[in-house]
Amino acid sequence: MRISGAEAVIRCLLEEGVDLVYGYPGGAIMPVYDELYKFQDQLHHVLVRHEQGATHAAQGYARATGKVGVAIATSGPGATNLVTGIADAQIDSTPMVCITGQVGRHLLGSDAFQETDIIGISTPVTKWNFQVTEASQIPEIIAKAFYIARSGRPGPVLIDITKNAQFDEFDFSYEKCTGIRSYVPVPKLNLDKVAEAAALINNAKKPLIVFGQGIILGKAEEEFKAVIEKSGIPSAWTILGLSALPTDHPLNVGMLGMHGNYAPNLLTNECDVLIAFGMRFDDRVTGNLKTYAKQAKVIHFEIDPAEVDKNVKTEVAVLGDVKESLVALLPLLDAKSHDLWLNEFKALREVEFNSVIKEELNPTNGKGISMGETIEMINKHSNGDAIIVSDVGQHQMFACRYAKFNSTKSNITSGGLGTMGFALPAAIGAKMGKPEREVVAIIGDGGFQMTIQELGTIFQTQVPVKIVILNNEFLGMVRQWQELFFDNRYASTKMINPNFVAIAEGYHIKSKKVTSRDDLDGAVAEMLASKESYFLEVMVEKENNVFPMIPTGACVSEIRLS
């Protein structure tokens, strides 16, 4: 079959099982869009309002479904506008393929109109990238792109296709990629290392499991649950690991890190064996590395060899696919309960509840609506079954701390990069990927205005996303730091906001603003009962802080309750 390179792009995507792409057209990618038009019955294209929105939507789709997200853009500014979302996907291990148009091969390096070296720009933030200059390269390169994006530790891939390669014809055939020489996405599991790990775990008096997104990416939730239930070990999660284990599981002891729960942070420096599954010991989790878990023997189950001993030195490193590792580990573990050790977590949880949580969920002394009680109201009406997509800032920490999750792939947020503006487009992608599930975006008034234009995407597609703006008229997280560490000098953090409800209504999205606690319950119920998209603005306490908190550079055991 002799076809153009542009048509080949579409046929390759269909061969990879892609049925949904996000993008924004332009001159250098126009031949591909012309073919998209012809294949629109098989491949649905969503027109976003900004290319960054395309990457975040593709991320939300990928995180909700486990499939590869796809974003398309033109050359120059179209391509560079993808970079933030690509960097976000790279650090959060999200499988994504980005396709950009490029000027003709004969114009490369001539500073032609809308020519930018996107290969050079994106190299540090992609798992792999490639510039296609001949039509015949397209099938092989796209096959490799999808294989690399989804295999091993997932990540983003970018393919830049010159315009001549889109127009030229060639004899098309497609073969999926199943391996690349010198690329080993999954290390071979060493069963001796698994046995070493099991021996340490079986002899531990105060073991602690810390788990990250690797459990979700490895589709190992059931195997992980079986391991913790047999071993009886308290288990704490990173932000991206949230929802791998149901929130109300008796061995789920809460969130690690800067604004995590009191008990798992404090007791990290008292456990004798620390077992890490699919997490990378990020600085927001560890605090000061010089004082992090120095008393513990560390076991690290990890797919990426580069993460082992990078931040925290291990006693035993078990490289390989986490699902395979957990299956091998389970029969070697002794069936135990660590009731006395678990009681220490429960006692510290009670301290945190009385010092922080109780007041956050039920504010007194005439205080305004809190972010925590708003999240709790969403729990009440969603029963923990919604996908929660949070942006970045205080509201993100409140969402992660207080949202309830019954099933996996339910917490979608920007973890490693901390990208404000992530949530609105990511929620669009999540809802399109999982239309049967309720999707609620939790966004601050600052981050919302970074991608507010994607309300237009919601209007055009009629995707029934629920949007909750927690409006404190501040860049809340920065303001909190300014209060605590910069003597209340609120430098450039006060927000003078527009009429958000009027803007949402301008996009024909049903909207409501809540200023009184008495109206919150009914408004959340109405929002979640709606079959269409819904915009809910909640005016929350202006100077409410999120605690506990580990100050920058401090030890995890120096966590503050106030």
Residues recognised as catalytic: 51, 113-114, 163, 477
Distance of CA 341 to the CA centre of its chain: 31
Q: Please return the burial class of 331, using the count of CB atoms within 10 Å of its CB with bins 0-12, 13-18 and 19+.
A: exposed
CB of 56 closer than 8 Å to CB of 426: yes
**Distance, CA of 453 to CA of 424 (rounded, Å):** 9
CA dihedral defined by 247, 253, 256, 259, rounded to 10 degrees? 80
Closest CA to 87 of 130, 129, 143: 129
CB of 540 closer than 8 Å to CB of 368: yes
**Distance, CA of 225 to CA of 514 (rounded, Å):** 40
Q: What is the largest CA-CA distance in the chain?
A: 74
**For the sheet containing 156-162, what is the strand order?**
44-47, 20-23, 69-73, 96-102, 156-162, 128-132
Q: C-alpha angle with apex 538: 47 to 487, nearest 5 degrees?
A: 105
Rounded to 5 degrees, φ, ψ at 357 are -65, -45
Write the single-letter amino acid at 271: C
- Provide the token pair at 552: 């920058």
Strand 20-23 versus strand 44-47 pairing type: parallel
Helix, coil or strand: residue 80: helix
* Sequence-separated (6 or more) residues with CB below 8 Å from residue 328: 189, 191, 194
Closest CA to 270 of 341, 330, 190, 335: 341
Helix axes 371-382, 517-529, angle to 10 degrees: 40
**Distance, CA of 154 to CA of 358 (rounded, Å):** 39
**Distance, CA of 154 to CA of 32 (rounded, Å):** 26
- Provide the token pair at 528: 């979640």
Rounded to 5 degrees, φ, ψ at 307 are -85, -15
- Mapping DSSP onto H, E and C, the string for 264-283 reads HHHHHCCCCEEEEECCCCCH
Residue 297 CB neighbour total at 10 angstroms = 19
- Provide the token pair at 491: 């430098």
Q: C-alpha angle with apex 85: 300 to 492, nearest 5 degrees?
A: 100
- Provide the token pair at 531: 């079959």
